[in-house]
Amino acid sequence: MLGSNDAERAENHSIVKEENSMMRILKWALLLMLPVAVFCMGERDALAFQPIVFGEEGAFLKIDYQGQLYGVVRDTGSGPDKTADTTDLFFRRNRLTFWGHGTDKYGFIVQLEYTGERRVDSLIVNDQPGKDFNVLDAYFMADFSNSFRVYAGKQKIQLTRENLEDCFEPLSVDRSLFIYTPFKHSRDTGLVVWGNIPELLMQYRLAVSKGKDNGDEPKSSLMYTGRVHVSLLDPEYAYGYKGTYLGTKKTLTVGAGVQYEPDAVFSDIVNKTGGKNYSAWTVDAFFEYPFKNAGAITLSGAYLQTKFDEAFKGNNPDPESLGIDGDKKGWYLKAGYLLPMKIGWGQVQPFVRYEDWSFAQLNNVFDQKVKWFGAGLNYLINGQSLRITLEYAKTNFDKEPNPQSKDFSTVTAMLQYRF
């Protein structure tokens, strides 16, 4: 048992640790709020990049710059025993987009992105910061009609609503940590046929893409994806969704998707035996409703299951069938409320999010379950053009046999800017 002095020292250590964490949180919050004053000194329109128009046929080129700067405090991951707090400051997104149309029918999008240098990841704190610079999107667009469009190139995987939401217009600080699909995470190279059927208030998407192609698959196969949604109030006709329309639409949309790739992984990748198929399915719903002089509420939820025909039961299963983007099932719910009045320069939108997931194997733990809860506040200036978000999140593991599977809390401050 602890003596009185030991207990007092332990209590004081806990208090000091808590105070240090609060100081870090305040430090990041103040750091990210400083640019707001500079931004608000000028007119927003003066900072916007205007399209470059060519000729009289409607041809144009538009350049957008968008960034998300994160300040993060996590109560684990650092020090000799990996239990000390970790603080990090990094670009979650830092993106330059070129969007053009040669005619009213044909166009293209190219997005370049730099992210990092980042140590705090979804479920772990990395010993060394990771960074990346890549061509995020590059695809050709052919809009033959509202009901028939063809997009070809590297673009978002079409399965889930959450992945198709605009990266810069989520309800919470970011989309789900667990909703991504295997092999390509969020993007793949392929062909998408999509369109809207206004009479049915329906949108469909059919895609064929590369899928897994690292040479460690039983056969070289393509991945097939289908998705459909029905809008019961104001339609969602765009190629991408939004996590919130900030009370500008009355929206109730129900969607579903399926995905399949044959012979995608081995259950014994060492001996190259036990070929297994990959499949996934999801359902989702989104509701947002503005009330006259009373703000707007937002509700959203989804269920996702990804399967590899029990490849995880093999002697040496393919690592891509395991982990956060491997064999899993789970769901999320999120809700927000946009206050009706402006406060200072902008609008305030509190939000909450809850997620519940089961993994075949996660961080070397079989049959792992994770519960995630987050709550926070958006401060929105001129819509999503300038945004400050503060979020507290708690991650709980069902089993805690190793340091990578210990419960932890994360506080994130985000400054978002779009031109």
| pTM listed for this prediction | 0.88
Contact criterion met (CB below 8 Å) for 237 and 203:
yes
**pLDDT tens-place string over residues 345-390:** 899 999 999 999 999 999 999 999 999 999 999 999 988 999 999 9
Which among 270, 389, 274, 279 has a CA at the least distance from the CA of 32?
389
Taking CA atoms, 147 is separated from 85, 200, 229, 252, 418, in Å, by 52, 11, 14, 21, 30
Topology at the third CATH level for domain 4-418: Porin (2.40.160)
- At residue 200, the 3 state secondary structure works out as helix
CA 61/CA 50 separation, integer angstroms = 9
Contacts of residue 205, defined as CB under 8 A and 6 or more positions apart, other chains included, come to: 158, 192, 193, 194, 225, 226, 227, 228, 257
Class of residue 277 by CB neighbours under 10 A (exposed 0-12, middle 13-18, buried 19+): middle
Residue 185, pLDDT score:
82
13: Cβ contacts below 8 Å, ≥ 6 apart: none
Arithmetic mean of pLDDT, 288-298: 95
Side-chain half-sphere CA neighbours of 169 within 13 A? 16
Which of the 8 DSSP states describes residue 169? -
| 233 three-class SS | coil
Q: Per-domain residue ranges for the chain?
A: 4-418
Is the pLDDT score of 18 beyond 50?
A: no
Nearest in space to 171 (alpha carbons), one of 335, 289, 44: 335
Q: What pLDDT does residue 130 have? A: 81
The two tokens of residue 64 are: 């957008």
**pLDDT tens, residue by residue, 159-181:** 999 999 999 999 999 999 999 88
Which token pair is 229? 């949604």
Q: Considering only residues 104 and 234, tell me which one the structure prediction assigns the higher pLDDT.
A: 234
